[in-house]
Amino acid sequence: MVICGERRFHDGRRDLVTNPTLIVEVLSDSTEADDRSDKFRHYRSIQSLQAYLLLSQYRMQAELLLRQPDGTWSLSSDQHPSESIPLRVVEAELSLSGAYDQVELSRSPSL
Give the tens place of pLDDT for each residue, 16-63. 788 999 999 999 889 999 999 999 999 999 999 999 999 999 889 999
User: 66 lies in a domain?
Assistant: yes
The closest of 100, 97, 51 to 76, measured between CA atoms, is 51
Contact criterion met (CB below 8 Å) for 54 and 35? yes
Give the strand pairing for 51-56 and 22-27.
Answer: parallel
User: 27 lies in a domain?
Assistant: yes
The closest of 83, 84, 75 to 54, measured between CA atoms, is 75
User: 110 lies in a domain?
Assistant: no
The number of distinct structural domains making up the chain is 1
CA distance 32 to 27: 5
Question: What is the pLDDT, as a whole number, of residue 9?
Answer: 79
CA distance 34 to 40: 8
CA distance 33 to 69: 27
User: 71 lies in a domain?
Assistant: yes
CA distance 72 to 5: 24
CATH number at residue 67: 3.90.1570.10
pTM exceeds cut of 0.95 = no
User: 81 lies in a domain?
Assistant: yes
CA distance 39 to 28: 14
Tell me which amino acid residue 2 is. V
- 106 pLDDT above the threshold of 90: no
User: 4 lies in a domain?
Assistant: no
Domain hosting residue 86, numbered range: 10-99
User: 22 lies in a domain?
Assistant: yes
pLDDT tens digits for range 53-90: 999 998 899 999 999 999 999 999 988 888 899 999 99
Question: What is the pLDDT, as a whole number, of residue 107?
Answer: 66
Question: What is the pLDDT, as a whole number, of residue 24?
Answer: 95
DSSP sequence for 5-17: SS--BGGG-SS-B
User: 104 lies in a domain?
Assistant: no
Question: What is the pLDDT, as a whole number, of residue 109?
Answer: 57
